[in-house]
Each structure stands twice: as structure tokens, then as C-alpha cells.
A and B are shown apart, each in its own frame.
Chain A
Amino acid sequence: MANVTIRDLNKNYDNGFHAVKDVNLEIRDKEFVVLVGPSGCGKTTTLRMVAGLEEITSGQILIGENVVNDLPPMDRNIAMVFQNYALYPHKSVYQNMAFGLQMRKYPQQEIEKRVREAADILGIGPLLDRKPRQLSGGQRQRVAVGRAIVRHPEVFLFDEPLSNLDAQLRVQMRVELKRLHERLETTAIYVTHDQVEAMTLGDRVVVMKDGWVQQVGEPLELYGKPANRFVAGFIGSPSMNFVDVIINELGGALYAEAQMLRLSVPPQHQDRVRAHLGGRLTLGVRPEALRLASGADPAGYCFDTAVDVVEPLGNEILLNFRAGGAPMVARVDPAVRVRAHENIRLAVDPARVHFFDEKSAAAI
């Protein structure tokens, strides 16, 4: 069991590509940390540097108290699950799982015991004699996980382990991985581009973009208090609505104005937004922070629009419309009956309005 410390980590490739930029991260013992971001954001490179598969350009990686920068992968006491499983095709399931222990010269009895134990946990006991090509995607996935857990490593590394599975299996394996982590209590670093996976699995989530860490936080913290516009848009589905607004003052009250749209600035934002009086900001509001307005809603938080497309999903209805010159989505109660092209009045939940600096995109 160990914590992992990443200090000022950088990766420059020979072709000049700066993949990872000044990443700092403190991963606690037994913590499940997810690195998430769009492709090319540096999450996999970071993971591979922790694994020792990629050279570190500058900075430090510590596992426990030891700087592992110059240690080969095999001496780092880590185990990794690859995106395409990387099972040895010519070895049986048993041999695949036993290989790491054999290389480390464990006694035969101990190997057998550990492989059986892992196979029981993962429910692949009956498959031990099969070859990988005789297994389904989900079974291969389990074998790949099994190969990692028999080693009893200090840190688990997962590189998009679920992305080759179909949607249904992905959801199932996601739950199993979470259960497994709770059982094994081993530090885990998990890379994915899927924000739902990140939110459901991670004790903490690290959002990355263009090699920079955008925000580190617990899932609900990222959702409720995104540090910048990128995180706000990346976390949550459908993603947050953004509209460029100008801040004006009218009779002592602050308003955010855009084309055909005027919303009061909620009280908790007043002080910080006032500094931008007369300037431009980006207003963000999640689809679930919008609802059909009733008479009780204060007029300052309501606006009129026409529905463009209605997406009835069963448990919710998505209304697509335009407001303030931007396309938007509202997620409303399934009991609501709205037809396309109908004129509606929507209310914004003032407690869930976000403002972002127009240039830096940081939350204000």
C-alpha cells in the first residue's frame, strides 16, 4: 500500500510535442484517482510515466517514499491493466495470471494459491485453462484485472480498461471495478476519456486538457464548482449551457444581458461580477438548473424562448432551444408536455448559475 506523489512532471516528446505540463498530484494511500480528459490531454502519458513505460522529461514521481524516476517498470511494484488487455495470446488464462509471479520466482504453491484466489474474486475460475481468444471481451477484461491483482501491487494503473467493451458491459464492469477496489484497498490510478466513468469510479477526479491539470477534486465538487469553463463543459451530460453576456447595472441591480436575454445576477455572485461591470463574461447554466417557469419564479430569473427540438428520454425530457444567441438544452420533468416550436417560459435556478472570465475562462 502506498501513496503516489507527482511533482512538476513534464513530458516532451522528441518531435517537440509537450504532452504533460507541470503536473502536480498527491494521491493518498488506498485512494482511487481518475485522470480524465479528451484525447491528447496527457492523461495516458502521465499514467505511463508512473508505470515506467515512458521516460520522464523533468519532475519527480514518488511511490511511497521512493523516487522511482529511474526504476524500471518491474521494480516499481505496480500492476497495469491495458486498454486492449495485452493478454499473452499463446498462454492460458492461468499462465497469463501466473506469469508475473513466475518471473518473480514465487514458489509454485503460492502462485497457484494466488491465481485461484484472484480467479474466485473475478468469477473466472472455470476459464483458467482457456486461451484468451476463446474468451469474450468481458472475460478477457477480467483476466487482465486478475493478472494485475495476483501480484498484490502497491499501486494499480488502469489505462482506459473499459473502452473496448460494449455499453452494457461497460456499466457492469464499472460497478465490479468499484467493488473490487473497495475490497482490495489498493491505491489506483485510472485513465479514461469518459466523464461518467470518472465520476462514478473516482474518489477524486483529475481533469486534464492540453497537458495541463484543469482541476482536481471529488466528483460532486467538479460538478458543482467547476474551476473553469472547460471543466464545466466537460463534466455533466448534456453539458453545461454557455452564453456570452455583458454585465449591466439597472437601478442598482446587476444584470447579465445577451441578445433577447436579460437575467439578474444572483446575490452570491454580485461582488465578484460587479468588478466586470460593462464588460463581457460567459454565463453557464446546467440543463438541470432550468425548468419551466411558474408564477412563483422571480421575473429576473425567467426568460422566454421557443422550443426547437424535444427529446423525450422517459426519465426526463430534453428541450433544445436558443437563448441569448446560443444553442441551449433544458432537462425538465417527464410529466411536462411540450411540443416542438411551442413558446415557453423557462426559469433559472439562481443558486446554480456560473460565471466565467471571457479571456482566462476561469470561474469567477
Chain B
Amino acid sequence: MSAAAPTERGRVSPLVRLLESESVLATALLVPGVLILVLFIAYPFVMALWYSLTSIRVGEAGQFVGLANFAKAWNDTIFQTAFKNTVFYTFWATIFKLALGMWLALLLNRSFRFKRIVRASMLLPFIIPTVLSAFAWRWMFDPTFSVMNWVLYHSGVITDRLPFLSDGDWAMWCAVAVNTWRGMPFFAITLLAGLQTISPDLHEAAALDGASAWHRFWHVTWPLLLPVTLVVVVFSVIQTFSDFQLIYVLTGGGPANSTHLIATYAYQVGVASGLLGEGAALSLFMFPVLFAVVWVQLRYMKRMEGH
């Protein structure tokens, strides 16, 4: 357009002419994004890699120690517990989120009164800040003031109060429950979006073909929903595996370091105790696991595209 403009309208400024070039424009558009990635992702990551190889602590530069931090972490029983906890927490929370989220999505996919309001309000656990909701849950699990203990006790279901957060195993399951409560809406909404792309004709055809409700789910809904399911599961695994806030607020890693996740333990060592190098090494143990998850997902998506 500018090329065809009459010359008396004034010359095209040099900057505009420069941006006409595709490569210059592309670079200009990419720079902000790349800058943010470098500044907030790449730089901290490289720094963490470097720190993990040194004995740096708060107020002390430290020196290169090779893989000593990793070796120490490997033999650290608290870290071993934290790693097991992280796997446990991720595995069960994802299973529950998927099962309940799928169930909820199938329910919400039907038409009923106030469908929109119900669908929207279901997102509440997801949009409330985690710190806030985790505090509320901590209050509900409180040894003295737990509303759940009160209800169960006074309705005669239990005779002894339940040690929600004061027992390590109980506390882990509580964390799984809260994470499930918080993450389920994301599963439900995403799966619901996936469900709505499945033509109702397919279910009708399957019904005519003699498929029961379960067979319709297994032979029609599930395979067609699989790509969406895989994406949410991977997202959820990444988020759950690297979760920090929920445990930090709910149990702080206690009692007696029994509910630490890798992230909370790395924080405790690296920031709270000031051992930056060791903390960095601890947190880097998450990397290979998450990398594997992402790799599997990318491979699968590529295969789907090939079809």
C-alpha cells in the first residue's frame, strides 16, 4: 500500500521502510518474547545449574564442588521421602482428578436447568488463589477446630478425632485430596470442551448398534477424547510434580518433614536454610522426570498428526 501512495503525501519514514523487510520485522516481534524467556526462564535455569555445582550459600560465594550436592541429596533420607511423596502425590492426585473430572464433565455435558451457572461456578476452586484455599483447608483439618472432626464426632461416626495433618500418612492423603479438589475443575472443563466436539450422532449410532452406556463410553467417548485427555494429564503431572504452594501452606512439609515435596524441601534447604547450592541441586532432580513426561507427550502428538 505504501509503495503505491502518491509521493506528495510525504516520504515514507526510514523506520517504516526498515520494517517492510520480513526478517527485520520478525526479529523485532520476537525480541520481547525471547527477552522474557531468557530473563525469567533461561537465566534462572542456567544459574540453578551452576549453583548446584557449587557450595554457594547466602552471603558466601562458595566454590565449585562438582556433583557433591547431588550425591548428598541422593543419600539424604528427607529428600528420599520427598521424592517418594512427590511421586505418590502426583500419581494419586492425577488419577483422582482424571476420574472425577471425567465424571463431572460427562454430567455437565448433559442438558439441565441452570447449566451455565453450574458450569461457571464449578471453576471456583480453580480460580481461588491456592494460598487462600489451602488456608481454608488447613483450618478444616485443624487438630482442635476441624469442622470435619466435629461433624463426624458428633454424628457418632468416629469416637476418636482423626489426625488429619498430625500424622504423616494422613497428611499426604489430605494434600492429595486438596490438590484433587483444586485441580478437578481444570480437568472437567477441558474434558467437557473435548466432549462437545464429539458429534451426538456417534452416540446415537452406537446406541443403535447395541452399545450399552459403558460400551458407548469405552468405544466412542474415550478414544475420541484421548488426545485431550493426554494433554490435560501431562499439564497436570507437570504442575502437580512441581507443586509448592499447597504443601507449603497446608503442612509446611511436616509433621517431621514427612510431607515434603521436592519443591518444598528444595525451598527449605536452599532459601530457608540459605544453602543455595544444595537447594538448587535438589530442585534439579525434578528436571529429568518432567523432561521425560514432556518428551512422551510431544512424541504422541507427533504420531497423532501423522495420522
Q: Is the interface of B mostly helix, strand, loop or mixed?
A: helix
- Complex CA distance for A151 and B224, rounded to whole angstroms: 24
A81 shortest CB reach to chain B, Å: 9
Which residue on A lies nearest to B224, using beta carbons?
Answer: A90
Inter-chain contacts of A78 with B (CB < 8 A):
208
B1 shortest CB reach to chain A, Å: 39
Assess whether A139 is interfacial by the CB under 8 Å rule. no
In contact, A100 and B220 (Cβ under 8 angstroms)? no
In contact, A74 and B224 (Cβ under 8 angstroms)? no
In contact, B204 and A74 (Cβ under 8 angstroms)? no
B61 shortest CB reach to chain A, Å: 58
Assess whether B199 is interfacial by the CB under 8 Å rule. yes
Assess whether B205 is interfacial by the CB under 8 Å rule. yes
> Can you list, as one digit per residue, whether each of B155-172 has a CB less than 8 Å from chain A (1) or not (0)?
000000000000000000
Which residue on A lies nearest to B220, using beta carbons?
Answer: A88
B183 shortest CB reach to chain A, Å: 27
In contact, B208 and A88 (Cβ under 8 angstroms)? no
Assess whether A103 is interfacial by the CB under 8 Å rule. yes
Inter-chain contacts of B210 with A (CB < 8 A):
74, 100, 103-104
> Can you list, as one digit per residue, whether each of B211-240 has a CB less than 8 Å from chain A (1) or not (0)?
100010001100110000000000000000
Q: Which of B202, B207, B210 has the most CB of A within 10 A?
A: B210
Our count of residue pairs bridging A and B at CB distance below 8 angstroms stands at 57
Assess whether B284 is interfacial by the CB under 8 Å rule. no
Assess whether B206 is interfacial by the CB under 8 Å rule. yes
In contact, B201 and A73 (Cβ under 8 angstroms)? no
B135 shortest CB reach to chain A, Å: 44
Assess whether A252 is interfacial by the CB under 8 Å rule. no
Which residue on A lies nearest to B215, using beta carbons?
Answer: A103
B55 shortest CB reach to chain A, Å: 55
In contact, A86 and B215 (Cβ under 8 angstroms)? no
Which residue on B lies nearest to A95, using beta carbons?
Answer: B219
Q: Assess A53 versus B219: contact at CB under 8 Å? Given A86-B199, A86-B201, A88-B202.
A: no
Which residue on B lies nearest to A131, using beta carbons?
Answer: B307
Contact pick for A82, options B205, B215, B224, B307, CB 8 Å: B205
Inter-chain contacts of B223 with A (CB < 8 A):
90
| Count of chain B residues near A, Cβ 8 A | 17
In contact, B208 and A89 (Cβ under 8 angstroms)? no
B180 shortest CB reach to chain A, Å: 29
Q: Assess A73 versus B199: contact at CB under 8 Å? Given A88-B220, A90-B224, A103-B215.
A: no
Inter-chain contacts of A87 with B (CB < 8 A):
205
In contact, A51 and B208 (Cβ under 8 angstroms)? yes
Q: Which of B199, B202, B204 has the most CB of A within 10 A?
A: B204
Inter-chain contacts of A53 with B (CB < 8 A):
204, 207-208
- Complex CA distance for A147 and B208, rounded to whole angstroms: 11
A191 shortest CB reach to chain B, Å: 14
- Complex CA distance for A89 and B211, rounded to whole angstroms: 16
Assess whether A328 is interfacial by the CB under 8 Å rule. no
- Complex CA distance for A51 and B205, rounded to whole angstroms: 10
Assess whether B305 is interfacial by the CB under 8 Å rule. no
Interface residues of A (CB under 8 A from B): 51-53, 72-74, 78-80, 82-84, 86-90, 99-100, 103-104, 131, 147, 151
* Other 5 A-B pairs with CB < 8 A, given A82-B201, A88-B205: A52-B207, A53-B208, A73-B204, A90-B223, A104-B210
- What are 21 pairs between A and B in contact, CB < 8 Å? A53-B204, A53-B207, A53-B208, A74-B207, A74-B208, A74-B210, A74-B211, A78-B208, A80-B204, A82-B201, A86-B199, A86-B201, A86-B202, A86-B204, A88-B202, A88-B206, A90-B224, A99-B219, A100-B209, A100-B210, A103-B210
